[in-house]
Amino acid sequence: MSQEEDLLNSIYPTSPHSTNKKYQSLGLRFNPFPRSGTANINGGDLYNGRLVPVDDRIKGQILSFIGDALNPNELDSEDRYISATIIGDYGSGKTQLLMFVRYVLSVVATDTNQRSNPYVIYIDNPGVKLMEFIGSIISRIGEDYFKKFIWLRIIEKIEASEELRGLLAKYQYAGGGLFKDTDPDPYANENKVSYKQYLNSFTRYINSTRNLKEFNETLRDVFIRVLEMETGDIVLAQYFYQLISEDYTVNKTWESLITGGISQLEKKATEIIHYVVHLIKDKGYTDFFILVDEFEDITQGRLSKTQVDNYVYNLRTLIDQHREWCLLFSMTANALKMLKRVNPPLADRISNRLIRIDALKPPQAEKIIANYLNMARGKESTDIRPFDSTGVNKLNDLVGGNARRLLKNCYLMIERASSILDKKGTIDAEFVAEHYSHDSV
């Protein structure tokens, strides 16, 4: 056997093309545990739907928060604000809990019997200033979708206004179509799909440089006029016009927006988020949820005192002035304590509902292990085999009830067991003690 074959055999105890067979003796199709122990933020609904909170108290708090958030405010339909904060140690499962919230809201959105259609954004980088926080929200919408939302809103307003259509009418082609299979009407469906298509429905019929320049200036004025009416701010109107009209491989305006790099917008956070929510709801969404992960980055040494003060003050002001969204934060308990010292009013506003994740108890550790195993068994069960209770208790004790460390070591145990245990073998306390890895913690 060559050195290369020997190395491959060490990596693949079975054929690399029959990975499933590796785990058959354990009754599994694959190893379902995350090798890093962390939540998969890109996991689909099938994945997150199986990872139901193992603490019934927490599950009840989450479902209560979602239910209250979706319940209409009869006194003020525009006031949708509600917030909660998840607190727990590093690795306690805060991110996975946010993923469960996202999953539940996706179920609500796809249920035709429900009256709610929530739009959900998850961000794991609150940034170092408020505009970076806003930029993270917008970046999750995506450049193409965001520009499309703005564009469709503008076209809708122009088409509905006789005055605005009149300003552009003289540039429309009045005769028959010169271009085969092309509708000359700028408001034909095929010409409203994008800024470029709409522009072409005029420019393909303009045959002089002077008229083209005049048209471009008129079109710009019309667009900015609509955007100013929508945003209530001329600076934002000019900015958003530039965003949708740029035609570069890399849209510099977009990049500046999502990184918070435009100083002129620093004091316009309220207007921006109001416009963003307005665009989203214009597409038929009823609620706007922001799930903010790792908010402890704001309070735990990453920023200077001045930066922290500015950030939390501006965020508090934003929350007070803008009440069309629902916010769910996650952070460590120490971070919340520091936030209460830095800005008690903000801490009170975002944590009037507190969802605390405690260390896993053995029965909860068994539940979370069964949830993952079910993904690899393709059926629902409370069975924890190939683990047994002694193995789970031992492992949970070694990791101090920390979910991330537990899952990381579960991955390792399954890998070791797949090459050592037979069908009757179990991952018991003795097996865990022998194969537990301090390095994997």
For residue range 228-275, list pLDDT tens digits in order: 999 999 999 999 998 888 754 456 788 888 888 777 788 888 899 899
What is residue 250's predicted lDDT score, i.e. its pLDDT? 53
**H or E stretch covering 198:** helix 195-203
CATH class, domain 56-117+286-356, is alpha beta
Domain boundaries, the chain: 14-29+361-435, 56-117+286-356, 145-264
DSSP string, 64-103: HHHHHHHS--SS-TT---EEEEEE--TTSSHHHHHHHHHH
Q: Is 426 helix (H, G, I), strand (E, B) or coil?
A: coil
Residue with the bigger pLDDT between 414 and 74: it is: 414
Residues 432, 398: Cα–Cα separation, whole Å: 9
Tokens for 291? 């799930």
Tokens for 405? 């460390």
pLDDT band of residue 158 (cuts 50, 70, 90) is very high
What is residue 392's predicted lDDT score, i.e. its pLDDT? 98
| Torsional sign, CA 112, 116, 119, 125 | negative
Q: Is 327 helix (H, G, I), strand (E, B) or coil?
A: strand
What is residue 251's predicted lDDT score, i.e. its pLDDT? 66
What is residue 247's predicted lDDT score, i.e. its pLDDT? 59
Reply yes or no on whether the pLDDT at 5 is more than 60: no
Q: 56 vs 36, 355, 373, CA distance in Å?
A: 26, 12, 20
Residue 276 near residue 131, CB atoms below 8 Å? no
Among the listed residues 326, 372, 321, 330, the one whose alpha carbon sits nearest the alpha carbon of residue 29 = 372
User: How large is the average pLDDT for residues 297-326?
Assistant: 84
Residues 135, 132: Cα–Cα separation, whole Å: 5
What is residue 18's predicted lDDT score, i.e. its pLDDT? 40
Max Cα-Cα span within the chain: 87
- Mean pLDDT computed over every residue of the chain: 87
Residues 419, 213: Cα–Cα separation, whole Å: 73
327-385, pLDDT tens digit by residue? 999 999 999 999 999 899 999 999 889 999 999 999 999 999 999 999 998 888 999 99
Reply yes or no on whether the pLDDT at 134 is more than 80: yes
Tokens for 346? 């903000």
What is residue 180's predicted lDDT score, i.e. its pLDDT? 53
Reply yes or no on whether the pLDDT at 58 is more than 60: yes
Q: How many helices (H) and strands (E) does the chain have?
A: 19, 5
Q: In whole angstroms, how large is the CA radius of gyration of the chain?
A: 27
Reply yes or no on whether the pLDDT at 13 is more than 70: no
Q: Is 374 helix (H, G, I), strand (E, B) or coil?
A: helix
Q: Can you give the pTM of this predicted structure?
A: 0.86
pLDDT band of residue 198 (cuts 50, 70, 90) is confident
94-114, pLDDT tens digit by residue? 999 999 999 999 999 988 787
User: How large is the average pLDDT for residues 15-23?
Assistant: 59
What is residue 248's predicted lDDT score, i.e. its pLDDT? 44
CB atoms < 10 A from the CB of 421, how many?
A: 17
User: How large is the average pLDDT for residues 304-319?
Assistant: 87
What is residue 3's predicted lDDT score, i.e. its pLDDT? 53
Residues 331, 404: Cα–Cα separation, whole Å: 15
Residue 178 near residue 218, CB atoms below 8 Å? no
